[in-house]
Amino acid sequence: MALLDVKNLGISFGGLRAVNEFSLEIEKGCLYGLIGPNGAGKTTVFNLLTGVYQPSDGVILLDGENLVGKKTIEINKAGVARTFQNIRLFKELSVLDNVKAGLHNHYPYSTLEGIFRLPRYFKVEKAMDERAMELLSVFDLDKEAATLAANLPYGKQRKLEITRALATRPKLLLLDEPAAGMNPNETKELMETIRFVRDEFDMTILLIEHDMKLVSGICEKLTVLNFGQVLACGNASDVLNDPEVIKAYLGE
């Protein structure tokens, strides 16, 4: 059974059919790309998958559990984490605290235990610190742990966002244009990071991308979206050579 199984997803805004009959199957451990021209509805698909929008039709199954109708936080608890096209970090918090916020649901203690500094507070906070530092060192961010997130350079902010998403222990990681605004060197480093995340964390990843080099370099499978419809899907090399896809990207 596929980890993520999306069938006939659809949503309209006003009279506009933003996404129509969208289906997608992602096997566990796969690095999957969702591509398409601007305005094709890629981010809308992410918003549907994470409960920001509620689809008007279709089902979303994660490990057999239907996600349709659930709220964003429930979907995260069910195992979907994401990053954002325009980076959304907790800017006034330290890098460490950004990751610890991601650990929020997995290291519980009550507010009263926190206020009165009961033993569990110290125990859990210590475990959180250790886990967060572990994650940060994986992404080479451990030296910046005390820095404010807002003061990180751009490339590291992207990395921190991925780290924070991973801290929530997802089964599926959604990356929304992770290479946006990066130079070729940073993009190359990012490709390695993404591949590393998949191997190290045994993660299933769905990413939206414009950068064809990144897509062809790391995605094993692709779905192409155009005007809210699936134009093609399958193995990356086949899809990228599909004349329909080339037409949609380059025009006629």
Partner 1 sequence: MKNPSGRTYAAEGNEKYTGWGNSMSFISYFINGISLGSVYAIIALGYTMVYGIAKMLNFAHGDVIMIGAYVVMASVSGAGLPPFAALLVSVVFCTVLGIVIESVAYRPLLNAASSLAVLITAIGVSYLLQNIALLIFGANTISFASIVPVPALALAGGALTVTGEAIVTIACCIVIMIGLTLFIRKSKAGQAMLAVSEDKGAAQLMGINVNGTIALTFAIGSALAAVAGVLLCSAYPTLTPYTGAMPGIKAFVAAVFGGIGSIPGALIGGILLGVIEIFGKAYISSQMADAIVFGVLIVILLVKPAGILGKNIQEKV
Partner 2 sequence: MKKINKTTRSNLITYGMVIAMFVIMQALVSAGRISSLLQGLLVPLCAYIILAVSLNLTVGILGELSLGHAGFMCVGAFTSAFFSKCMAEAIPAAGVRYVIALLIGAASAGICGILIGIPVLRLKGDYLAIVTLAFGEIIKNIVNILFIGRDENGFHFSTKDTLSLGLSMDGEVIVNGPQGITGTPKDSTFAIGMVLILITLFIVLNLIHSRSGRAIMAIRDNRIAAESIGINITKYKLMAFSVSAALAGVAGVIYAHNLATLTAQPKNFGYNMSIMILVFVVLGGIGNIRGSVIAAIVLTLLPELLRGLSDYRMLIYAVVLIAMMLFNWSPKAIAWREQYAAKFRRKKQKEV
Burial class from Cβ neighbours inside 10 Å (0-12, 13-18, 19+) for residue 150 reads exposed
Count of positions on this chain that bind partner 2 (CB under 8 A): 42
Residue 20 main-chain phi, psi, to 5 deg: -140, 130
Q: How many CB atoms lie within 10 A of CB 218?
A: 19
Q: Which does 93 bind (CB under 5 to 8 A by kind): partner 1, partner 2, none?
A: partner 2
Enclosing H/E stretch for 230: strand 229-235
Q: How many CB atoms lie within 10 A of CB 143?
A: 10
- Residue 84 is a binding residue for partner 1 (CB under 8 A): yes
Q: Which does 131 bind (CB under 5 to 8 A by kind): partner 1, partner 2, none?
A: none
Enclosing H/E stretch for 127: helix 119-138
- Residue 43 is a binding residue for partner 1 (CB under 8 A): yes
- Residue 12 is a binding residue for partner 1 (CB under 8 A): no
Residue of the chain from 47, 76, 157, 193 that contacts partner 1 (CB under 8 A) = 47
- Residue 131 is a binding residue for partner 2 (CB under 8 A): no
Please, which residue, 154 or 246, has the CB nearer to partner 2?
154
Question: Both tokens of residue 186?
Answer: 């940073």
Please, which residue, 86 or 241, has the CB nearer to partner 1?
86
Please, which residue, 1 or 115, has the CB nearer to partner 2?
115
- Beta strand segments in 27-111, E: 31-35, 57-62, 65-66, 80-82
CB of 52 to partner 1, least distance (A): 5
Where on the chain is the footprint of partner 1 (CB under 8 A)?
43, 47, 52, 84
